Amino acid sequence: MTRRAQGFSYMRRYIKRWTLALLMSILLISGVSAQQPGKRADPEITAQFTADGIDTCLLCHDAERMRLISKTPHGKKDDPHTPWSKHGCESCHGPGSLHATRSRRGKGRPPMIDYGFDKKGVSTPAAKQTETCLKGCHAQDMGKLKGMEWTGSTHAIALTEVKGGGKKLMSCSACHLMHITQDPLKDKEKQAESCYACHQKTKSEHPRFEEKGINIDKVSCWECHDVHQLIPEKEQQAGN
C-alpha cells in the first residue's frame, strides 16, 4: 500500500472515530436534558405578602366594587384589628406575591383565596374560607368586639343544599358580604330574605306568638336566634 493510500485510510478511520464520538456525545446530552426537569425541578416557592400591599392589588383589581372595601368596617385603616391595617386585601385573600408576578400563559395566575357560597367560579372550599375569617380575626377578641365561637354551631355543622343538587358546608360568605357599604344583615327585611334562602318553610310556617303579645313582623331573626351559638357537645354526639 502506497504512502498516499495509507494516509487516506488513516483519515477515514479518524473521521469515523470522531463521528462516532460526536454521535455518542449528542445522545448523552439529549439523555441528560430529558432528565433535567425531574432532577432540577423548581423548588416549591411559597407565596409571600407583597411589599406594596393594596397598591399591588389595585393595579388590576381597580373596579369601584373593590375600592368600596375602604368604606366598610374591614377597611378602617386606623383600627389595628382590621384586615386593611394588617396586609390589606391579602389579609383575607392570602399572600399575593406569586399571583402578582407569575402569569402562566394559557393558565392564568396562581389562585388566591376567594369567597362565596354556591357561587360560580369560587374555588376555595368553604372550610378554608371560614378558617381564614376566624383564624385571622373573628375567633379572637378585637377591641370591644369579642371573639366568636363558630366551630360547633348549627350553621358550621349543617350541610346546606346547593344549586344543581348536592350539599356543602356553609361558609361565612353564605350570609356575609364584604365589598359593600350597607350590610344587608343589619336591615330587618333583607336579613330575613337572607335567612329564607335556606329556611324556606320558616317564611310561611313560623309561629306568630300572638298569644304572647309579640308582633313577629317587627322583629329581626337575630333578635331571637343566635346563628353563631354553639350546640352543646352532648347534643352534637347525639346528632341533634
Q: Is the pTM of this model over 0.75?
A: no
The Cα 156–Cα 138 span in angstroms is 14
The Cα 146–Cα 140 span in angstroms is 7
72 domain-assigned: yes
pLDDT at 10: 53
The Cα 156–Cα 172 span in angstroms is 9
69 domain-assigned: yes
Cβ burial, residue 213 (10 Å; 0-12/13-18/19+): exposed
pLDDT at 88: 94
132 domain-assigned: no
DSSP 171-192: -GGGT--SS-SS-GGGSHHHHH
86 domain-assigned: yes
20 domain-assigned: no
On whether the CB atoms of residues 35 and 27 are closer than 8 A, the answer is no
Q: Which amino acid is at 32?
A: V
101 domain-assigned: yes
pLDDT at 7: 47
pLDDT in tens, the chain (240 residues): 555 554 455 556 656 555 655 655 565 555 544 445 554 445 567 899 999 999 999 999 999 989 999 999 999 989 999 999 999 999 999 999 999 887 666 667 888 999 988 777 788 998 899 999 998 899 888 888 888 878 888 888 877 766 666 677 888 988 898 899 988 888 888 888 888 888 888 888 888 898 989 888 888 888 888 888 776 655 545 444
For residue 75, how many other CB atoms are within 10 A of its CB? 20
105 domain-assigned: yes
The Cα 132–Cα 178 span in angstroms is 14
> Which cell is 56 given?
399591588
β-pair partners for 2? none
- Structural domain including 99 reads 48-112
Tell me how many domains the chain contains.
Answer: 1
The Cα 60–Cα 25 span in angstroms is 49
Q: Which amino acid is at 68?
A: L
pLDDT at 18: 56
The Cα 9–Cα 173 span in angstroms is 84
pLDDT at 32: 46
